[in-house]
Structure formats: structure tokens, C-alpha cells
Structure 1
Amino acid sequence: MPRERGQKVVASNRKARHDYLIIDVYEAGMSLTGPEVKSLRAGRASLVDGYATIEGGEVWLENVHIPEYTQATWNNGPSRRRRKLLLHGHEIYKLMGKIKESGYTLVPLSIYFKDGRAKVEIALAKGKREYDKRQTLKERQDTLEASRAMSTKGKDW
């Protein structure tokens, strides 16, 4: 059987980019059980309430919902269990230093398969205030209007 190539996105957390200012992005492997991998391959996962913590020099993904795989038998675990993330030691220590500063958190952005292995993209993020969210929405809307105006300017109707 040929090995998988490329990247297949399973779930993404679009709200995280709205609620947080993304400082740095890391790619981490996940320690999963067999039925969880099968469920992810079926495209079933939710990152809505997910976050990551660092305890004892290890990074843990918490509150991410990977539903039970229906064809599995007794080895289905809880759907919102803690999952260990696999990062290099220097990346973990760098994150530990940043997390100790106030206002920073680790947020999962997406879960995907890269060359057949389950990966999660986590971001070092800082929470946005309400006026920051409004400002980014206004900037996005202004650039969209400007690009529309530029595209219709050259057309003679």
C-alpha cells in the first residue's frame, strides 16, 4: 500500500484567529489511540473549547473533542480526554518561558494529517480585547472594499 503524501486538514479553529492575537505557531505530533485516529480520518473533531497546558515539562492538549469511533469495541476512550503533544525540548522550554508571562496561552489552530501522521498546529497567543476585535474587522472590511473598487475601476460599463 502506498504511503500517504501531502496534508489533509481534519478540523480548524477559525474563532481562535478572531479571539486571539497569534504570536508564534508550532507544529506538534499527537499521542492518540487507534480509534481516535480512525475517527480523525473520518473527519470528525472539534477544537472549539480546546487549549494546551504545560505540566512537568510536557505539553498536554485539553478539552478537544474527538468523538468515539462507532466500529471500535471496548478500547474507545472518553472523547474529551487529555492528549500528550510531542514537541522538541527546546520548543517546550521556550513556550514555558512565554506562558509564565501574563496574558499568553496556547491555542490549537488546526488538526491535520501530514504524510499519514496526525499533527496539531498550536499557537502562542494573547487574548484580544473587544475593541481590538472591532478594529481588525474594520481593517479587513476596508481592504475588501478597496480591492473591490480597484477591480471595478478599470472596467467600462
Structure 2
Amino acid sequence: MPRETGRKLIAQNKRARHDYNVDETFEAGLVLQGTEVKSLRAGKASLVDGYASIDDGEAWLLNVFIPEYSQGTWTNHAARRKRKLLLNRKEIDKLAAKVKEGGLTIVPLSLYFKDGRAKIEIGIARGKKDWDKRQTLKEQQDKREMARAIRHRAR
């Protein structure tokens, strides 16, 4: 059977882009159990409450929901277990320095398969205030209206 190629999206955290200003993104691998991979291949996962932390020089993904595999047996995994992120030492050090700086957090943005391997896109993010969220929505609406006017004028 030929290997998978390309990128297949499993889950996306749209709420993260709404609640945070994402400064920088990283792609990380995940250490998973077999039943977790089977659940992901079925397209089931939720990144909504997830976040990452750096403990003892290792990156960990917390609170990401991957449901138990329906046909799994006693070897099934815990749905919200702590999962290790696979990053280079330089990337881990950079993330740790940024988070120590204050006011920043590491949030998962999307979970996908890339060439058959589970990957997660994480971002260093700063929380938005309510007025920031309103301003962002207003800017998006203005862009939409401008594009609509340009299309209408071109007719």
C-alpha cells in the first residue's frame, strides 16, 4: 500500500485566532498511542481547551481531547492525557524564553496528518481584550464590504 502524501486536516482551533493574537507558529510532532492515531484517522479531535507548556526542557500538550477509539479494548487511551511534543532543542528554548517573558501562552492552532504522520501547529499567542476582538471583527467586515463594492463596480 502506498504511503500517504500531502496534508489532511483533522481539527482546527478557530477560537484561538479569535481570542489571541498569534505572533509566531511552529510545527511539532506528537507522541501518540495506537488507539489515538486510529481516532485521529477517523477525524475526531478537539483543540478548544488545549494549551502547551514547557516542563524540564520538554514540551507537553495538555487538555487536547482525542476521544477513545470505539473498537479499542483495554489498551484504549485516556481522552485528555498529557502528550509530548516533538520539537528541536532550539525551538523549545525559544518557546520557553517567550513564555517566561510574560503575557504569552502556547496554543494549538491545528492538528493534521502530514505525509502520514500526526503533526500539530502551535502558536505563541497574546490574549486579546474585548475591544481588540470587536476591532478585528470590524476590520474583517470592512474588508468584506470593500471587496463586495469592487465586485459590484466591475459589473
1:115-135 CA-to-partner distances (Å, cap 9, x unmatched) read 000000000000011111111
CA apart distance, 1:15: 0.6
The residue matched to 2:28 in structure 1 has which SS?
strand
Q: Which residue of 1 aligns with 2:15?
A: 15
Q: CA deviation at 1:154?
A: 2.2
Q: Which residue of 2 aligns with 1:111?
A: 111
Distance 2:70 2:95 in 1: 36
In structure 2, distance between residues paired with 1:103 and 1:135: 20
Distance 2:66 2:47 in 1: 9
Match of 1:131 in 2: 131
Q: Unaligned 5+ residue runs, structure 1?
A: none
Structure 2 residue runs without a partner (length 5+): none
TM-score between both structures, scaled by the size of structure 1: 0.98
Equivalent residue number for residue 82 of structure 1: 82
Deviation, 1:77, is 1.7
What is the root-mean-square deviation of aligned Cα atoms in Å? 0.5
1:73 corresponds in structure 2 to 73
1:61 alignment partner in structure 2 = 61
Pairing 1:6–2:9 present: no
Aligned to 1:98: 98
Moved over 2 A (4+): none
Matched position secondary structure for 2:135? helix
TM-score (normalizing by structure 2): 0.99
CA distance in 2, matches of 1:125, 1:147: 29
What is aligned with 1:122? 122
Alpha-carbon distance in 1 for matches of 2:154, 2:26:
42
SS at match of 1:100: helix
